[in-house]
Amino acid sequence: VHSASKMTAANTNAAPKEPIQSVQVFGRKKTATAVAYCKRGHGLIKVNGRPLSIIEPRLLQYKLYEPILLLGKDRFAGVDIRIKVKGGGHVAQVYAIRQAIAKSLVAYYQKYVDEASKQEIKDILINFDRSLLVADPRRCEAKKFGGPGARARYQKSYR
C-alpha cells in the first residue's frame, strides 16, 4: 500500500503528458512490406532512415512522390512519416512505400483531423490510382511437375 501511494504522488508532480498523435500503417506489393509510422511533425518523410530523394531505382522516383504531388505539400506539412521497408525487389518496394505513405496520411486524418478532409484525400487518391490505398492481391503462382513453370508443359514427342 505504501509504495502505491508513493507512485501516485510522483505522477501528480510531473506535468500531464499528452499522448503522441501517431498511426502505424503498412503498404504491400508482392512480398515487399512497408510499415509507415506517421506522427505530428514538420513534413519529414524518411524511408529506412533516408530521404525519399535518394531511393533507388531513379526511374521510379516519381512514383514515390505521387501521393505528395496529388495531395499537395501543405497536407504533409503537419506530419512526419517514417517508413521501414523489407522484402521483395526494388520495384515492389517502391510500390509498397507509396501505398504506405498514402494509407498513413488517410489514417492520420481519420484519427486526429476531421472526417470530411479524410474523405476528400481518399477520393483524390482513389480517382488517381486505386493501388495507392488498396493492396494488389496478385501473387506468383507455384511451379507444378510435368513442366518448366506454373502453366507451361514439357514438349511432347511421339518417337
Model pLDDT, residue 28: 95
Under 8 Å between Cβ of 85 and 96: yes
CA gap 86, 68 in Å, rounded: 22
CA gap 67, 97 in Å, rounded: 10
Model pLDDT, residue 147: 96
Model pLDDT, residue 159: 81
pTM over 0.85: no
Model pLDDT, residue 2: 58
Question: Mean pLDDT, 10 residues at a time, over the chain (159 residues)?
Answer: 54 65 93 95 93 90 92 91 95 95 94 92 94 93 96 93
Alpha-carbon distances of 24 from 2, 32, 88, 137, rounded to whole Å:
39, 17, 20, 21
